[in-house]
Structure 1
Amino acid sequence: MSPVHTVRGPVDSADLGRTYMHEHIFVLTADVQANHPQEWGSEEDRVADAVQKLRALAAQGVTTLVDPTVVGLGRYVPRIQRIAEQVPDLNIVVATGIYTYDSVPFHFHHRGPALAAVLGTELPDPMVDLFVDDITDGIAGTGVRAGMLKCAIDEPGLTPGVERVMRAVARAHHATGTPITVHTHPGTRTAMDVKRVLCDSEGVDPGRIVLAHSGDTTDCDHLTALADAGFVLGMDRFGLNLGDTTFETRADTLVEMCRRGYAERMVLSQDASCYIDWIDPMVMPFLPQWHYLHLGAEVLPYVRERGVTEEQIDTMLVANPRRFFETGRPTPAPPDAIGAPGVR
């Protein structure tokens, strides 16, 4: 048993209960929202809508939600605090890190290792201290401590900016023991870059890493290889059904992975949100299943009918998240990482 930091304070890992490991409350473009508030509308209405949706999720039996919203996704913890106080039956775990598919935010372009060529010496990456402070001291003076580290790699692949963030996340993990979730792009097998950088180079245990969006592929042989390598597979976009990715393809992939005996390597979620400003609201009616209640109301009945057992469901929703958080403790960085904070 270990304490897990939530918005309302630490919760024993044994009390996490049914956990959705990848849901957002709001996904926002911070500069747009700050400068064009008419897009956001009423703050009170947005908060009230979120409270209503999260209460419905709690009523469905979910007791913990992990929200990996970080810099690049519009993280604003004071708003999440307001919401959490009104949904007392739901634990909310927030994250630290940076979400980018290519370059680092401009704030970091001329700081830390980016200055190595100019100064002729390696400098620590300031990202590491920012992430560690969010975990140990709390986020932006709120006292809310991050319980997850987050980075991303998508179709552009392992760009220098993506690699820099990934290595900073690894070093914050070694300093704090905080687990990691990585947005991945299974279609281009970016999880192999995650393995090379986070695990092979930086020494992170793959069992401390959720490969988010693994369920975007139906290639069960690829998923099997990742599970055998020790990673946790995030089958976490149920309801986001576009093109060839349908309800059935996502659910049937989960059924097949359970049939192969990999329930102990998967966690479930939907990657849904109360509001995401990346998508025109007129598009949302074309994604009618992309919401917090879809997994419990539609996916689980479907997979039960096809042989997934209650024990396997409890493993994916209760036991695996608990174990994922319980194994956290500071681990020594590999020798070649010490004193070399820049991208190698």
Structure 2
Amino acid sequence: MPTVETALGPVDTADLGFTLSHEHIISGDLAVRHNWPHVIDVEKEIVDARARLDEVWDLGVRTMVDLTTVDLGRDASIIRRVAEGTKMQIIVATGVHRRPPRYFERRVPEPVVELFVMDIEQGIADSGVKAGCIKLATEEEVDPLNELMLRAGALTHRATGVPIMTHSNPFHGTGRDQQDVFEAEGVDLTRVVIGHSGDTDDLDYLMSVMDRGSTIGMDRYGTRIGADTEKRTDVIAELCRRGYADRMVVSHDAGSFSLNVPRHVRDTRFPEWNYLTIPTKVIPGLRDRGVPEDQIEEITTHNLRRIFEQQGAY
């Protein structure tokens, strides 16, 4: 049986269940936290995160992919502690977001690939946690530095077989640009999730990404970036009707704690931006739109499991 690494070690892919594909648990600038530790009460946030994860577990979610990278404040030791006190299975990422450390800029791609591979094969620092996926990000364009980061991630994928999961900007078409770079490095695009695709309701764009083999992340429910909750759900339902239920995954890109967005701001300005919106609103909304249960199960469970089961270097 294939397995995937989580914060508490490998689990059978058959046990992943309903999976949120693109979330964060505790994030923020590590340099700020290390220099001014009072800005976060780590013990309190660990307890709060466990409670939030258990709440969504009670609604049927079994696994969460935490795509917090080093430049977003990844701390695998904290995530391991969260995981030790919750029922939720947490998959942790290596890779890089939009602001790679300057250390990377002069050492790409091979030395950066070595670091990413180390996270996957040996574990992240002294946390005992191995990364189970590779996070990469592109915003408005693939500039030279971003291309090097994408190539480093692609080479890491080829060396380890763990899937690539991205941040993209569909309004600038950068999901397709990412696919171009990955394809040039020999990546099998069926092993890639192009994230944040659901920000747009441009069906032609979304289908063009999926027609190349990739799965799209309908994964920013609750934000005010692009389409609102109802429109995002309309788009998923229409794509299901067009035969694309096997190439979508869902999530919120939310977090339990972030140094970047204070909790009171999230709670007041973005009341749906949390881990609960998909199980409590989106799944019922898909049913109301006539999406059959087997297609809902594909989107929530089978599609990401299939990607994690495509294993091995190549």
Tell me the TM-score range normalised by the shorter chain.
over 0.9
Structure-2 residue corresponding to 1:192: 176
Match of 1:213 in 2: 196
Amino acid at match of 1:249: K
Residue in structure 1 matched with residue 96 of structure 2 by the alignment: 98
Tell me the secondary structure at the aligned position of residue 71 of structure 2.
Answer: coil
TM-score, normalised to structure 1, is 0.88
CA RMSD of aligned residues (A): 1.3
- 1:296-311 equivalences under 5 Å are 296-311=279-294
- Aligned partners of 2:39 and 2:247: how far apart in 1? 40
Deviation by residue 1:233-261 (Cα, 9 ceiling, x = unmatched): 0011111135x531211111111111111
Matched, 1:133 2:93: no
Match in the other structure for 2:161: 177
Distance 2:228 2:20 in 1: 20
1:150 match: 135
Q: C-alpha displacement at 1:141, in angstroms?
A: 1.8
Q: Partners of 2:174 and 2:5 in 1: how far apart?
A: 29
- 2:105 and 2:256 map into 1 onto residues whose CA distance is 32
In structure 1, the gaps of 5 or more residues are 114-123, 332-344
Cα displacement string for residues 195-221 of structure 1 (whole angstroms, at most 9, x for unaligned residues) = 21111x101011110000010000011
- For the residues of structure 2 that align with 1:246 and 1:100, how far apart are their CA atoms? 24
Letter in 1 for 2:13: S
The residue that corresponds to 1:288 in the other structure is: 271
Please say if residues 2 and 309 of structure 2, whose CA atoms lie closer than 8 Å, have aligned partners that are also in contact.
yes
Does the Cα contact within 8 Å between 2:105 and 2:145 map onto a contact in 1? no
* Counterparts of residues 1-344 of structure 1 (less than 5 Å): 1-40=1-40, 42-87=41-86, 89-100=87-98, 104-111=100-107, 113=108, 125-155=110-140, 157-199=141-183, 201-242=184-225, 245-284=227-266, 285-331=268-314
CA contact (8 A) 1:19 1:63 kept: yes
The answer (yes or no) to whether the contact 1:24–1:273 under 8 Å persists in 2 is yes
1:110 and 1:251 mapped to 2: Cα distance? Answer: 42
1:11 aligned counterpart, secondary structure: strand
Specify the code of the residue in structure 2 equivalent to 1:240. T
Secondary structure of 1:149's counterpart equals strand
- Measured in 2, the distance between the counterparts of 1:92 and 1:215 equals 23
CA contact (8 A) 1:177 1:330 kept: yes
User: How many corresponding residue pairs?
Assistant: 313
Unaligned runs of 5+ in 2: none
- CA distance, structure 2, for counterparts of residue 192 and residue 53 of structure 1: 34
Aligned equivalents of 1:192, 1:241: Cα separation in 2: 23
Could you tell me how far apart the structure 1 residues matched to 2:48 and 2:160 are?
35
Q: Shift in Å at residue 299 of structure 1?
A: 1.0
CA contact (8 A) 2:221 2:228 kept: no
Return structure 1 stretches of 4+ with deviation > 6 angstroms.
none
